[in-house]
Homo-oligomer: A and B are copies of this chain.
Amino acid sequence: MAEWEKNIRRVEPYVPGEQPNRPGMIKLNTNENPYPPAPGVGLALKQLDTERLRLYPDPASTLLVEALAARNGLKSEQVFVGVGSDEVLALAFLTFFQSKKPVLFPDITYSFYEVWAQLYGIPYECQPLDEAFGIREEDYEKENGGIVLANPNAPTGLLVDPDFLRRILSKNQDVIVIVDEAYIDFGGESAVSLIPEFDNLLVVQTFSKSRSLAGMRIGAAFGQSGLIRYLNDVKYSFNSYTMDLTAQKLGAASLEDEGYFRETIQKIVNTRERVKAELKALGFRFGDSKANFIFATHPKLSAPELFEALKQENIYVRYFAKPRIRDYLRITIGTDGEMDVLVDFLKKYVKAADQ
């Protein structure tokens, strides 16, 4: 070991997530949208003035911020944008969780909450979901330095309603409550409507799922202007230019087509509900997902074995070898055609297992 290696930050060695790219593969492993972004996005790309790329982008991403404000009935100073909701969330952790008391979030949720807490030296405490993977309200009544809830939660897909969040917010007015709404557009009611009531609420969303723009890395946060100002202060203090010009333009273009947005989501929701019925008929069990995935288990099947069997069929879903969820698979909702192939295979697989 070289002497300088003693000063290296140690992290868990990373195993890159499977991002296979095979002909004919059915990719249901990272909750991507099966439909392309709105047609206006392609147009905005073609119309982009390449000469302008020699200049720094607008550090405030004004175009995108104003489009988001208009769409959500907010003022520009209530909107923050970043490189994917991952950057937005990490920055929110850094900005708002400087307490010595632990930040609270569920034991089964987006795995990066724990990572960012560790990165920034933020104390945290995971609160166990109940047996049905529900969030127990009383767990969020103890003293804490902040709260983070994904809604719908991932990978469970389960939703809480705004009244539940209102109670959590009311009982925790001394800390910031982050509601991560990566999947809210697939069937939930956004907590954005609670922003006027609570100065301690930060709502985070992404363009990666419902807006079919995972490839562009666009995330956003909404909150009262005081909160957003703090986020901007921290962001500007160490990296002014994060959103490139194409992300700003394409994100704004995506927001212009509400019709396409609703239509795409409706297709995914219809497919999800249809697939739920088919999986149920095959004996799978799962909560009532309001996201673009189903988190399913089967009393007679081994999840890792089924995961591998699907892979052999060129169908990729997600398996987490973690406590409490090692019997589950997370299946992204693809097109109807893709889900037909999946369900057909599962029918044969379950039948074979029954014999």
Interface residue ranges, A against B (CB under 8 Å): 2-4, 6-9, 11-14, 16-17, 19, 27, 30, 32-37, 41-42, 45-46, 48, 50-60, 83-84, 86-87, 90, 94-99, 112, 115-116, 119, 145-146, 173-176, 199-200, 208, 212-217, 226, 230, 232-234, 236-247, 250
Contact = CB atoms under 8 A, between A and B. Distances in A.
Contacts of A115: 237-238
Contacts of A50: 36-37, 41-42, 45
Given A2-B199, A14-B232, A98 B8 contact: yes
A198 to B, nearest CB: 10
Given A146-B7, A215-B245, A247-B244, A237 B176 contact: no
A217 B32 CA distance: 24
B236 A86 contact: no
10 contacts: A2-B199, A3-B175, A8-B230, A9-B98, A16-B59, A30-B56, A45-B48, A55-B215, A86-B238, A86-B239
A9 to B, nearest CB: 5
A58 B56 CA distance: 24
A196 B152 CA distance: 50
Contacts of A213: 53-54
A261 to B, nearest CB: 13
Given A97-B7, A236-B16, A32 B54 contact: yes
Contact of A174 (B4, B35, B36): B4
Contacts of A11: 233-234, 237
Contacts of A8: 95-96, 98, 230
A282 to B, nearest CB: 28
B14 A58 contact: no
A56 B208 contact: yes
A90 B238 contact: yes
B217 A244 contact: yes
B35 A214 contact: no
A250 B3 CA distance: 38
